[in-house]
């Protein structure tokens, strides 16, 4: 078992404190869900963990290795951010080989969701199709921890994506955030709510109402 340890995260924008002394952890074999309203700092926190943006203060460690920037993340943390990252000049099957070991590449190339796109170049795919390829490639990629920012983009395949996330979490730790909170609650082993720059542990719907994330009737 390997542990991702995140501690003492402080981040401000224009003198407004967005994140205040944030702590969270994730172990291989575990799914940690992060919820929060728009502007609560979810994506900012994920980017700080991954190393693509700086913070006034942060401590990120995988096992015994301290992660200071993206270059420290090789084979440790992969990140599905809200933009696209696939190279346009490659075919999908080549991208799979780039991200996955030989065993996982064979499995992914035979996945029903992936088969229609195997021989296509990503520049010929729609935005939704690219997003699907990105999710699948990262889920099967060689990494110890995976950060997923808004993976539930298509209602038609949400259930299948949830199943794959659960299955792949047996081999890696996964941190996930999405506005579709019911899906996050369903698949997560631990749920954290970001509110007013701080984290709150959530044990269910009642806590989301108590903390004001959901309306209470």
Provide the residue ranges of all domains of the chain, joining segments of one domain with +: 3-83+144-208
Q: What is the pLDDT of residues 28-77, one digit of tens each?
A: 999 999 999 988 999 999 999 999 999 999 999 999 999 988 888 888 99
What is the rounded distance in angstroms from the CA atom of residue 180 to the CA atom of residue 121?
30
Question: Residues with Cβ < 8 Å from 126, sequence gap 6 or more?
Answer: none
Indicate whether 14 pLDDT > 70. Answer: yes
What is the rounded distance in angstroms from the CA atom of residue 191 to the CA atom of residue 40?
15
Mean predicted lDDT score pLDDT of the chain: 93
pTM: 0.94
CATH for 3-83+144-208, options being 3.30.43.10, 3.40.50.300, 3.50.30.40, 2.60.40.1180:
3.40.50.300
Pair of tokens at residue 109: 């190339």
Question: Residues with Cβ < 8 Å from 16, sequence gap 6 or more?
Answer: none
Question: Residues with Cβ < 8 Å from 56, sequence gap 6 or more?
Answer: 10, 11, 12
> How many alpha carbons fall within 13 Å on the CB side of residue 52?
12
Q: What is the pLDDT of residues 163-207, one digit of tens each?
A: 999 999 999 999 999 999 999 999 999 999 999 999 999 998 999
What is the rounded distance in angstroms from the CA atom of residue 66 to the CA atom of residue 207?
33
């Amino acid at each position: 078992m390997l542990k991702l340890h995140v501690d003492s995260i402080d981040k401000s924008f224009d003198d407004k404190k967005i994140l205040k002394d944030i702590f969270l952890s994730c172990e291989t074999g575990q799914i940690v869900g992060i919820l929060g309203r728009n502007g609560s700092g979810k994506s900012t926190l994920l980017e700080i963990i991954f190393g693509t943006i700086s913070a006034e203060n942060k401590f990120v460690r995988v096992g015994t290795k301290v992660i200071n920037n993206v270059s420290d993340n090789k084979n440790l943390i992969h990140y599905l951010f809200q933009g696209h990252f696939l190279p346009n000049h490659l075919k999908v099957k080549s991208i799979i080989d780039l991200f996955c070991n030989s065993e996982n590449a064979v499995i992914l190339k035979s996945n029903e969701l992936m088969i229609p796109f195997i021989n296509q170049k990503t520049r010929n795919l729609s935005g939704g199709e690219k997003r699907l390829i990105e999710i699948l490639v990262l889920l099967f990629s060689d990494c110890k921890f995976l950060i997923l920012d808004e993976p539930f983009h298509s209602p038609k395949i949400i259930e299948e994506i949830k199943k794959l996330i659960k299955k792949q979490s047996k081999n890696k730790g996964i941190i996930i955030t999405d506005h579709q909170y019911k899906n996050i609650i369903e698949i997560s082993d631990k749920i954290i709510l970001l509110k007013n720059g701080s984290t709150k542990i959530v044990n269910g719907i009642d806590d989301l109402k108590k903390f004001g994330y959901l309306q209470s009737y």
